């Protein structure tokens, strides 16, 4: 029984590995921190997997676990006065440096990197075209709050980006 459950869990993690890494890259400071956070998320998911009731899609449940773990991880880092800038802010973000949108893409990622942890999670889910209801379920907020927060975040980012784009 235990071996079957472990195999089922392993398959689920392998199937949704990109989802977990997406969260890790958004909240981790560097490659080592990304690996640590990935392991921490998998550990938290394993401890909660037995209680997963199937009320939501497995990807929704895993997103919730990953985001909650990442936010807690980030808070612990701040308590230790660790100043971290996500890897993707240093990386060559645009695949094509000659793309007309390369600079805008870098600015957008820099602005997302500066958001509060919950706002980062909200934007990540929004950029993945997740429905407001699913975002609300993952983050534990109301659907109307999702829309309100998204509008505020987008307005704030638009205002911050405007001087950088001129």
CATH of domain 92-166: 1.10.10.10
pTM to 2 decimals? 0.69
> By the 8 A CB rule, do 65 and 44 touch?
yes
> By the 8 A CB rule, do 23 and 41 touch?
yes
Over residues 96-146, the pLDDT tens digits come to: 556 667 788 788 888 988 899 889 999 989 988 899 999 999 998 999 999
pLDDT of 79 reads 56
Separation between Cα atoms, residue 121 and residue 58, nearest integer Å: 18
Separation between Cα atoms, residue 29 and residue 97, nearest integer Å: 24
Q: Where are the domains of the chain?
A: 1-90, 92-166
pLDDT of 147 reads 94
For residue 81, is pLDDT > 50?
Answer: no
User: What average pLDDT score do residues 65-70 get?
Assistant: 93
pLDDT of 56 reads 84
Between the ranges 80-89, 94-103, 157-166, where is the mean pLDDT highest? 157-166
Over residues 140-156, the pLDDT tens digits come to: 899 999 999 999 999 99
Separation between Cα atoms, residue 125 and residue 130, nearest integer Å: 6
> By the 8 A CB rule, do 88 and 106 touch?
no
For residue 86, is pLDDT > 60?
Answer: no
Over residues 5-18, the pLDDT tens digits come to: 899 999 999 999 99
Over residues 25-37, the pLDDT tens digits come to: 888 888 999 999 9
For 1, 33, 41, 46, 108, the CA distances from 7, given in Å and listed in that order, are 10, 26, 17, 11, 39
For residue 43, is pLDDT > 60?
Answer: yes
**CATH: 1.10.1740.10, 3.40.50.460, 1.10.287.990, 3.10.20.90. Which one for 1-90?**
1.10.1740.10
If phi over 0 gives left and psi between -120 and 50 gives alpha, with beta otherwise, what is residue 140? left
For residue 95, is pLDDT > 70?
Answer: no
């Amino acid at each position: 029984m235990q071996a079957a459950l472990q195999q089922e869990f392993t398959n689920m993690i392998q199937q949704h590995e990109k989802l977990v890494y997406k969260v890790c890259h958004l909240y981790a400071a560097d490659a080592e921190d990304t690996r640590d956070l990935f392991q921490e998320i998998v550990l938290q998911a394993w401890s909660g997997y037995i209680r997963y009731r199937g009320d939501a899609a497995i990807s929704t449940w895993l997103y919730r676990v990953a985001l909650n773990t990442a936010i807690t991880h980030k808070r612990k880092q701040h308590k230790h006065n660790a100043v971290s800038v996500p890897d993707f802010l240093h990386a060559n973000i645009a695949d094509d440096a000659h793309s007309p949108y390369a600079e805008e893409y870098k600015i957008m990622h820099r602005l997302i990197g500066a958001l509060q942890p919950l706002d980062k999670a909200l934007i990540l889910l929004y950029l993945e075209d997740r429905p407001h209801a699913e975002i609300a379920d993952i983050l534990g907020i109301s659907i109307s709050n999702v829309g309100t927060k998204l509008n505020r975040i987008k307005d704030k980012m638009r205002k911050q980006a405007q001087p950088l784009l001129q």
